[in-house]
Structure 1
Amino acid sequence: MRALLSALLISAAACASAPAAERMVLAPAPTLDEAPKKGLQKAVFAGGCFWGVEGVFERVKGVQSVRSGYAGGKSSTARYSLIGTGLTGHAEAVEITYDPARVSYGTLLRIFFSVAHDPTQLNRQGPDVGSQYRSAVFAQTPEQDKLAKAYAAQLEKAGTWKGIVTAHEGNKPFYPAEDYHQDYLRAHPTQPYIVYNDIPKVEALKAMFPALWSEKPAA
């Protein structure tokens, strides 16, 4: 996607001529969901470039905040200049803080699989290639881990997706990305990469989940 910030527009223009990034499908509601609970909870997902995944989840009612960052590797390598090598073990990820009284973990999973990324693409998403762009769930609790695995199995059985490659990597630490990556989609809505790869995801969220759409993005 992007090797250096100085080459951003060049790489974005190249991506604009690439094949369509991901296929979006309205997945069924999960048959299992989290038990009712009080207080804000966190979910961590990886689904390719964090710009677009953040852009989707910040528009979901009940989501309080979304941060782009890295998960899967060590703190010493949680830097964008190193992530791009694909050798750190990190994936570009987002940390979602949500109110389970307004939106459940199961619903977040449904959005993740439906519009945020394509769970059948191994170590890539659209034009972005490498293990840092893998599909992964970093469950924050044993309950989340159980629900995520059950939902992936449900989708396979239903035929919604065939060949789901989403990894279930457990509660590995999340490290926030550099400031310039935060709220990137909102700050650069006309950048070619964003227009071609990420805006369609946000539009699909609004079309597929109108009851969950928030006109005001989360902080």
Structure 2
Amino acid sequence: MSSAPAQPMTPPPGAQTATVAAGCFWGVEHMYRREYKGKGLYDARVGYIGGDTENPGYRAVCSGRTGHAEALQISYDPTQLSYRTLLEFFYKMHDPTTPNRQGPDVGTQYRSAIFYHDAEQEKIARDVTQKVDQQWWKGGVATEILQAGRWWDAEEYHQLYLDHNPGGYECPSHFLRKFPDLRD
């Protein structure tokens, strides 16, 4: 396994970026790619955000001492795929009610978080989270909503991990839940 840094994503003009953390990033990446490939998703990269360590690596992040979350950064076409849709999917594909935990994965690196990139994303994140908390998760949402800071791509062997390792680890809390459409 190589620990060389991955090549950063270069989105096309007009693309927007969404950044979410929902536990082990392999399953999160896999689910978003499967759901939105050919439907406005340009790219999805796994990496680290939200901590205070420069250039963190996987082992350091897994120690829980860097403050970083394992996360997914999505580059998408907003004319085909809305930020709101990406966030609704986020709340359907993991358990946002367990602070610093997804299934058997425990620690701040596995927290549920939305990292917004501008004021409009923050507004949408807070609105969707409030509705999801009331209508789907009945007051249990523990998701953090934070301004996006410095993003660090994970090592190359983590990118498309489940595509390259079909029998690889998938967090048991990563599956698509059936919820009714959100009401206004």
Corresponding residue of 2:17: 42
Gaps of 5+ in 2: 2-12, 180-184
The reply on whether 1:112 has 2:90 as its aligned counterpart is yes
Identity of aligned residues (%): 42
Higher helix share: 1
Task: Give the secondary-structure state (helix, strand or coil) at the position aligned to 2:129.
Answer: helix
Per-residue Cα deviation, 1:1-56 (whole angstroms, up to 9, x for no partner): xxxx8xxxxxxxxxxxxxxxxxxxxxxxxxxxxxxxx8110000000000000001
SS state at 1:76 partner: coil
Residues 74 and 88 in structure 1, CA contact (< 8 A), matched pair in contact too: yes
Q: What value does the CA root-mean-square deviation take over the aligned residues?
A: 2.1
Deviation at 1:163, TM superposition (A): 1.2
Question: What is the CA–CA distance in structure 2 between the aligned matches of 1:161 and 1:175, rounded to whole Å?
Answer: 34
More strand by share: 2
The structure-2 alpha-carbon separation of the partners of 1:161 and 1:47, relative to structure 1 and needing over 3 Å to count, comes to farther
CA deviation digits over 1:66-98, x for unaligned, max 9?
Answer: 000000013525211211111111000010000
SS state at 1:86 partner:
coil
The residue type paired with residue 145 of structure 1 is E
Contact kept? 1:42, 1:95, Cα under 8 Å: yes
Aligned runs of 1:17-166 on 2, under 5 Å? Answer: 39-59=14-34, 60=36, 61-74=39-52, 76-115=54-93, 117-166=94-143
Q: How many residues align?
A: 165
> Rg larger in 1 or in 2?
1
Determine the structure 1 residue equivalent to 2:9: none
Q: TM-score, normalised by structure 2?
A: 0.82
The gaps in structure 1 that reach 5 residues or longer are: 6-37, 209-219
Does structure 2 conserve the Cα–Cα contact (< 8 Å) formed by 1:75 and 1:175?
no
